[in-house]
Amino acid sequence: MTEAELKSYLLKQYPRENESCEWKAYNSPRYDISGRKGEDVISYVSAFANLEGGHLIIGIADRTGDIIGIGNFHDYTPENLPPRLLGNCTNLSSEGLRLESYQTEDSLKTVWVLHVPKHLPRRPVYAHKTAWQRSGDNLILLRPERERAILSEPLLTIDDWSGEICPDATIDDLSAEAIVRARNNFLKKFPHLVEEAQFWDDITFLNKAKITVRGEITRAALLLIGRPESTHFLFPAQAHITWILKDKDNIELDYAHFGPPFLLNAEEVFRRIRNLKYRYIRDETTLFPEEVDMYDPFVIREALHNCIAHQDYTLAGRIIVVEFADRLVFVNSGRFIPGTIEAAIYSDAPETASRNPFLAHAMFNLNMIDTIGSGIKRMFYAQRKRYFPMPDYIIEPEKVTVAVLGKILDQEYVRLLANNPDISLPEIILLDQVQKKQPISEEGAKLLKQKGYIEGRKPNFHISARVAVITGNKADYIRNRAFDDDHYKKMITDFIAKFGSASRKDIDYLILDKLSDVLNHKQKRSKVGNLLTSLRQEGIISNEGTSAKPKWILIRDR
């Protein structure tokens, strides 16, 4: 849309500044995201979140609504800004946090609209270790009465869809084979009940295992041990797991659908997954490779069972398992109850709320999941033990995606650091994010730098010399380490001195592949441009061509 059309649209959608809306003509996110306490983006995020949520429009004049546009993006993008905000705003929920980007067709100006969700129950949102709020269109410190109101809010309660009775369903709608398996799993979980259980009939057992209620069939019972044809009792909910096999080019090779009983058919999904062997050299003391499965069986089952337990069946979506050449992806519908993956991993207590508590408790009794909330943490420890990358969680408002890689990204680095008792799981997770070129919080970067694990400037961190020497990963360190600017400048001036002149294409060919691999192609091109500008300002080289076709010549020696 044109600049005039975008202005009209924004004024219509966000007609005035108030407690839920702010316009800012921020020109440089590098300084405006988290640089000025009380004036920056993260302070406004805290303020909106501590009320009912809101919208921050960046690149538009606050009084007139004129499109100013963002002049210097630094290294911020619509994709990496939300996770960086999560790292800088304590207790900020990822659900509903999103950024929309608009660019005008005529003036090529960019405007960002940041949507900020409401705070979680009993969790004020902090920026710069301070909680903020809005008062009209003003930004102020969080008032004591508002903080008390947040802290006293009732915790999230959810109607338990899974525990509802299906009045027309009977025990004949349950699978006899699944009941036998359920009984065996239950007694494996509670061996002290073996003698007593031999006198239980099926209904008694199902009541004891808390799958049925006083002999009445619950939705959880139909999901876990129901006959395939019993799914009509659950309509409009979709009681299906879809497995899809794709090749390296994302082309579908095979698929299959599985319904109840999930107690049995989750194992069928597990067997569909081609858990191939993966070979790698454990250390430098042997020439013989270590051979392991691509995926830890516990991780597969835990991820799949979590999808079953935490699926929001009221959204009528399917559970999806996609098998790629080098990773497994699990998708289930519904909000991520813990809010953030950090809360799920580092909390020392189970969640106070659950989407399907009746179903989750039944699955615990059948030895399918661990209801004390440690299952996700155990997945991370399992990956760490195998030296494989940590699971990746993508948390959206009504969907959770978990990706598990089946290969080692850096054999030496991950293997040796995972065996080092001095490196904690939080540090391993941060280093894993650095390896994957994912953004990390300022606090995380400070911690890793203090311990000498990483080098570089935000966001282009890389393995430090210390870690490289420890792991033997010296080649990667050299590829990632940047030389001093003087080194590259000398290369440029030596080239011009030898050949008389140089085009930009010549200089790019000379320099680009010598720059640090932590930079992408666009950043490398920008780096070369900065080097040329610096040499010109120093009076060493001059451009005798045009801006479109520069021709650099040497004026004096360096």
Per-residue pLDDT of the chain (558 residues; tens, 9 = 90+): 899 989 888 888 886 678 889 888 876 655 566 666 667 889 999 999 999 899 999 988 877 888 988 877 777 888 878 877 877 788 887 767 888 899 898 888 999 999 998 888 778 999 888 999 998 888 899 999 999 998 887 654 557 899 999 999 999 999 999 999 999 999 998 998 999 999 999 999 999 999 999 999 999 999 999 999 999 999 999 999 999 999 988 999 999 999 999 999 999 999 999 988 887 665 554 555 677 889 999 999 999 999 999 999 999 899 999 999 999 999 999 988 877 787 777 654 445 457 898 999 999 999 998 755 568 888 998 988 888 899 999 988 889 999 999 988 866 566 556 556 677 888 888 888 888 888 888 888 888 888 777 788 887 887 665 555 555 555 555 555 556 678 889 999 999 998 899 999 999 989 888 887 667 788 888 889 889 988 988 889 998 887 678 899 998 876
Query: 234 with 309, same domain?
Result: yes
Show the CA angle centred on residue 153, arms to residues 150 and 156, nearest 5°.
120
Query: 139 with 172, same domain?
Result: no
Q: Which of these, 369, 404, 401, lies nearest to 384 by C-alpha position?
A: 404
As a whole number of angstroms, the distance between CA 373 and CA 89 comes to 24
Query: 352 with 254, same domain?
Result: yes
CATH code at position 504: 1.10.10.10
Say what the pLDDT of residue 348 is.
Answer: 46
Query: 339 with 309, same domain?
Result: yes
As a whole number of angstroms, the distance between CA 171 and CA 217 comes to 7
For residue 413, is it within any domain?
no
As a whole number of angstroms, the distance between CA 128 and CA 527 comes to 32
Say what the pLDDT of residue 216 is.
Answer: 96
For residue 414, is it within any domain?
no
Q: Are 193 and 187 in contact (CB under 8 A)?
A: yes
pTM over 0.75: no
Residues 6+ apart with CB under 8 A from 226: 169, 173, 174, 175, 178, 233, 239, 260, 261
For residue 251, is it within any domain?
yes
Query: 398 with 352, same domain?
Result: yes
Task: Give the Å distances, CA to CA, from 293 to 279, 388, 402, 494.
Answer: 9, 11, 19, 53
Which of left, alpha, beta for 209 (phi over 0: left; psi -120 to 50: alpha)? alpha
Task: Give the Å distances, CA to CA, from 161 to 174, 310, 311, 399, 449.
Answer: 19, 11, 11, 18, 47
Show the CA angle centred on residue 557, arms to residues 554 and 558, nearest 5°.
115
The b/e string for 190-216 (b: 16+ C-beta within 10 A; e otherwise) is: eeeeeeebeeeebeebbebbbbbbeeb
Say what the pLDDT of residue 217 is.
Answer: 97
Domain final position from 99, 127, 151? 151
Element (H, E) at 396: strand 392-396
Whether a cis peptide bond, with omega within 30° of 0, leads into 236 is yes
For residue 415, is it within any domain?
no
Full residue range of the structural domain in which residue 435 is found: 420-480
For residue 294, is it within any domain?
yes
Whether a cis peptide bond, with omega within 30° of 0, leads into 78 is no
Query: 106 with 72, same domain?
Result: yes
Q: Is 244 helix (H, G, I), strand (E, B) or coil?
A: strand
For residue 105, is it within any domain?
yes
430: amino acid identity, one letter: L
As a whole number of angstroms, the distance between CA 356 and CA 222 comes to 14
Domain final position from 131, 151, 171? 151
Q: Which of these, 460, 508, 505, 474, lies nearest to 488 by C-alpha position?
A: 508
Query: 26 with 160, same domain?
Result: no
Q: What is the 3-state secondary structure (H, E, C) of 46-110?
A: HHHHCCCCEEEEECECCCCCCECCCCCCCCCCCCCHHHHHHHHEECCCCCCCEEEEEECCCCCCE
Query: 375 with 440, same domain?
Result: no
The b/e string for 394-427 (b: 16+ C-beta within 10 A; e otherwise) is: ebeeebbebbbbbebebbbbbbbbbeeeebeeeb
For residue 96, is it within any domain?
yes
For residue 330, is it within any domain?
yes
Tokens at residue 492, please?
């440029």
Whether a cis peptide bond, with omega within 30° of 0, leads into 459 is yes
**Number of separate domains in the chain:** 4
Query: 548 with 436, same domain?
Result: no
Query: 196 with 266, same domain?
Result: yes
Task: Give the Å distances, CA to CA, from 419 to 109, 222, 361, 383, 422.
Answer: 50, 44, 35, 12, 9
Task: Give the Å distances, CA to CA, from 228 to 46, 118, 258, 309, 332.
Answer: 48, 41, 9, 18, 20
Query: 147 with 181, same domain?
Result: no
Query: 140 with 28, same domain?
Result: yes
As a whole number of angstroms, the distance between CA 396 and CA 443 comes to 24
Domain final position from 480, 498, 522? 480
CATH code at position 303: 3.30.565.60
Please state the length of the chain. 558
Q: Are 162 and 356 in contact (CB under 8 A)?
A: yes
Say what the pLDDT of residue 411 is.
Answer: 63
Report DSSP state, residue 226: B
As a whole number of angstroms, the distance between CA 160 and CA 1 comes to 46
